[in-house]
Amino acid sequence: MIDVIVAGAGPTGLMLAGELRLHGVHAVVLEKDAEPTGQSRALGLHARSVEVMDQRGLLERFLPLGEQFAAGGFFAGIGKSWPERLDTAHAYVLGIPQTTTERLLTEHATELGAEIRRGCELVGLSQDEHGVTAELADGTRLRSRYLVGCDGGRSTVRKLLGVGFPGEPSMVETLLGEMEVAVPPETLAAVVAEVRKTQLRFGAMPLGDGVYRIIVPAEGVAEDRATAPTLEEFKQRLRVFAGTDFGVHSPRWLSRFGDGTRLAERYRVGRVLLAGDAAHIHPPTGGQGLNLGVQDAFNLGWKLAAEVGGWAPEGLLDSYHIERHPVAADVLDNTRAQMQLLATEPGARAVRRLVSELMDFEEVNRYLIEKISGIGVRYDFGEGHALLGRRLRDVELKRGRLYALMHAGRGLLLDQTGRLSVAGWADRVDHVVDVSAELDVPAVLLRPDGHVAWVGEDPADLLGRLPRWFGAPVTT
């Protein structure tokens, strides 16, 4: 029997497969498309996702293929420079197309031994107390201990589970595509700047080689958003807003997206879980969806591996919903707010001006950037030190960087006292005795996802905390 079937080879499913393989879990990814789409919806990784890649030794692959932006403009497109001294070693957005991110995550997962089966569409599933049966479009049946639906916003898994997806339907729709234009770059830039004075859902971004990524508001909301717009529809909408269609031609691809905003009621039903867009959809404002999905996978991977490995403490797998559902709810809310700030009515424009003024206050700016970038996330681990529940930033140790010690996806006790021990959990938790000028606490216990599970110096206190996340000790 397969340990875990992952439905969907988007960024979420690929990240999850890699995380599972780090723990030796037999993971099979089923992807309905025979080939990658070649369409880049997301264009970047925020600071927390950059950290995630660094924690798994992947950042060296991403950095040369991306471009670092330490500028603002990520909250509702309001262009303010970033605050000083953000709490991360990676205070930038890494501009990198979604297709590249997917390719790198595919390489990583397959190198670790994940099996990715393309052209395999999941169409049915059932579960019993021992496992899950997945049915594919060609009639094949596969059996696994767990199954995770990473199959995007129209998730078949979510629908088959009957999990509610409350929220708001799309009210506005935007056309998006990559194509060439027949006008000089200066002419295009001047017209776009003029239109954007009153319509912020309009833009043209140069991608090189004369290709532009163009967005323009659609007319109404399509019944079936999976159907791509025609070039003629694109041209017609460009003429409505810009008075010209710029002679657009040779489209690489065309698509449409809405502003539907919905959150799955439950992330887990028995042995089946949901992650990424399958669990939450929202408008792309702030560029957060891919990041949120990758971080769902980072939270879920080691917990599911612990279940499969037989050492998970009670409640560990349920903590996935408990921790990640509120994070997604918060992202949905910030995108709702951003959409209001992008509206064209006088009232909305006045609120936008006001928010822009407020962002001149460093604390306001910092608060919004920490939200969008994911570094402000704090899980509720109860009362305690300010670091508890937050992910720890990378810090410099005597022997090198902390994140370089986390590539294997295990727990880690960073012990500046030299008096602590993880005996009994040494198969799950690394014990690093070292010091850092950047860390003013005696010791921290980090979960495999880098979140702080304990802060202190009392060995007995630590012993009381280890089982909550790492299960029972092994006695020799």
Task: State the minimum distance, in angstroms, from the CB of residue 3 to ligand FAD.
Answer: 18
Backbone angles phi, psi at 45, to 5 degrees: -110, 130
Identify the sign of the CA torsion 238, 239, 243, 245. Answer: positive
Task: State the minimum distance, in angstroms, from the CB of residue 309 to ligand FAD.
Answer: 25
Q: Contact 387/459 with Cβ under 8 angstroms?
A: no
Task: State the minimum distance, in angstroms, from the CB of residue 208 to ligand FAD.
Answer: 18
Q: Which is nearer to ligand FAD, 160 or 406 (CB)?
A: 160
Beta bridge partners of 423: none
Distance CA 453, CA 451 (A): 6
Strands 115-118 and 27-31: parallel
Distance CA 386, CA 147 (A): 35
Task: State the minimum distance, in angstroms, from the CB of residue 87 to ligand FAD.
Answer: 20
Q: Contact 144/115 with Cβ under 8 angstroms?
A: no
Within 10 Å of residue 257's Cβ, how many Cβ atoms? Answer: 19
Q: Which is nearer to ligand FAD, 293 or 450 (CB)?
A: 293
Q: Which is nearer to ligand FAD, 173 or 323 (CB)?
A: 173
Task: State the minimum distance, in angstroms, from the CB of residue 404 to ligand FAD.
Answer: 25
Within 10 Å of residue 138's Cβ, how many Cβ atoms? Answer: 9
Helix axes 362-373, 318-341, angle to 10 degrees: 130
Distance CA 243, CA 54 (A): 46
Amino acid at 420: L
Q: Which is nearer to ligand FAD, 8 or 448 (CB)?
A: 8
Within 10 Å of residue 81's Cβ, how many Cβ atoms? Answer: 11
Q: Could you tell me the end-to-end alpha-carbon distance of the chain, in angstroms, rounded to an integer? A: 30
Q: Contact 10/276 with Cβ under 8 angstroms?
A: yes
- Provide the binding-site residues for ligand FAD, judged by CB under 6 A: 7-13, 30-33, 41-44, 98, 121-122, 150-152, 156, 176, 257, 276-277, 284, 287-291, 293
Task: State the minimum distance, in angstroms, from the CB of residue 399 to ligand FAD.
Answer: 33
Q: Which is nearer to ligand FAD, 43 or 429 (CB)?
A: 43
Q: Which is nearer to ligand FAD, 175 or 413 (CB)?
A: 175
Distance CA 159, CA 24 (A): 30
Q: Which is nearer to ligand FAD, 28 or 445 (CB)?
A: 28
> What six digits make up the tokens of 329?
């709810």
Q: Which is nearer to ligand FAD, 278 or 412 (CB)?
A: 278
Task: State the minimum distance, in angstroms, from the CB of residue 290 to ligand FAD.
Answer: 3
Q: State the Cα torsion 106-211-293-125 to the nearest 10°.
A: -70
Task: State the minimum distance, in angstroms, from the CB of residue 13 to ligand FAD.
Answer: 6
